Amino acid sequence: MCGAVPADWKGGRVLPEYHPRSAYGIRLVVVVLVSLILAGCGPSTGVPTYSISGRVTRASDNAGLDDITLQFSSGFGTATTAGGGYWRKDGLKGTVTVTPTGQEWTFNPPNRTVSSSASDVNFQASPAGTYSVSGYVRDNLGNAVKDVLIEFDKGFGSTNTGADGKWTKSGLSGTVMATPKKDGWTFSPASCAVDGAASDVDFTGTYAVSGRVTGSGGAGIADALLFLGSGFGTARTASDGSWNATGLSGNVTVTPAKAGLVFTPETVTVSGSSSSVNFTGSPATNTYSVSGRVTDSSDGSGLYGVSFAFSGGFGRAQTDVWGNWSKSELYGTVTITPSRPGWAFQPESRTVTGASDTVDFAGSRSGGSASEGGDK
């Protein structure tokens, strides 16, 4: 054969003519579509997301449990219950297993599997093995503090101290935080973690008191001193007459003082927190003055620069170059105490209840100290 070679000659075989409706054409279209799909060029195949929610409750009373962690399979992380045991998880895909966790609880059911939106993925929890703890709440002086609320986290409720300061709590499991609370009180430690039976979970508390010092018309009296008994020092009123003191324990007397004023009541005794320790001041009508002299016991000469402290907030006084001193506008019973570095005095203090011009003291160098260069 010497004729012309056909244009579609391929190695001795003539390819069939392409036509969309021919068997060959259909097969070709299918192959192309499959290739496009496998290459990611076909229609979108994204999996839709969904959300689920539920609640974890205590089996014994159906109370919601907060701070329970739920774990989600397939790398979807965790969620934590709050606001009464409720929880929610968004953005899930496919089939996911939800498992509540917490060493102090066993859960029913242990887990749940979901694959679409749901709002009732609930669990009930029961203690996983319980224990009891107890302790005392006392103040810094060892006195029992009653009616202190001891709160426990993770849904374990609370208990109160009795008249002897003792408290007890049973049915705990896992690690639980115990926190004492009482209005106006501060406790140390502020809270305590327990993880097993114990009888020495103790707390120490101090209380605060506050009030106001006013005149008879109700206006605040500034800079009045409040003397606190049992060694708790003093407090001072602000410009509006308000005052407060913290860190107190046991029975504490509170006595107001300011020069030229008398107060009603004269003193108040507190034994716990109070915000209404109030006093009313009025001008003193029976004030008096006192004076005297301080001498060097070795030669009877006047002693200069001796300071005097007066109880009741009456300020201070000091001797002049001749050893003389005076103080006016005192009232009531006042104790007067002299002081000067390096000197001791006889008597150490004197108490007066009315006018006197013979409140005298004699000083001597303390500890055999050397002469101060003749300066008295």
CATH number 2.60.40.1120 given to 131-201: yes
pLDDT at 64 over 80: yes
Q: Which residue has the tokens 């907060």?
A: 66
| Omega of the bond leading into 265 within 30 degrees of 0 (cis) | yes
**Whole-prediction pTM value?**
0.55
Q: How confident is the model at residue 281 (pLDDT cuts 50, 70, 90)?
A: very high
> 306: buried, middle or exposed (CB in 10 Å: 19+, 13-18, 0-12)?
buried
- Enter the tokens of residue 170: 């049973």
pLDDT digits (tens, 9 = 90+) for 182-192: 999 999 999 99
User: Which residues make Cβ contacts (< 8 Å) with residue 75, sequence separation at least 6?
Assistant: none
* Every domain of the chain and the residues it spans: 50-127, 131-201, 207-283, 288-367
Nearest alpha carbon to residue 152 among 126, 128, 170, 125: 170
Calculate what percentage of the chain has a pLDDT beyond 70.
85
pLDDT at site 60: 81
Its CATH class, for the domain covering 50-127, is mainly beta
Residue type, 67: D
**CATH number of this structure's domain 207-283:** 2.60.40.1120
Domain 207-283 in the same topology as domain 131-201: yes
Domain 288-367: what homologous superfamily? Carboxypeptidase-like, regulatory domain (2.60.40.1120)
User: Which residues make Cβ contacts (< 8 Å) with residue 192, sequence separation at least 6?
Assistant: 177, 178, 179, 201, 203
pLDDT digits (tens, 9 = 90+) for 18-29: 455 555 555 655
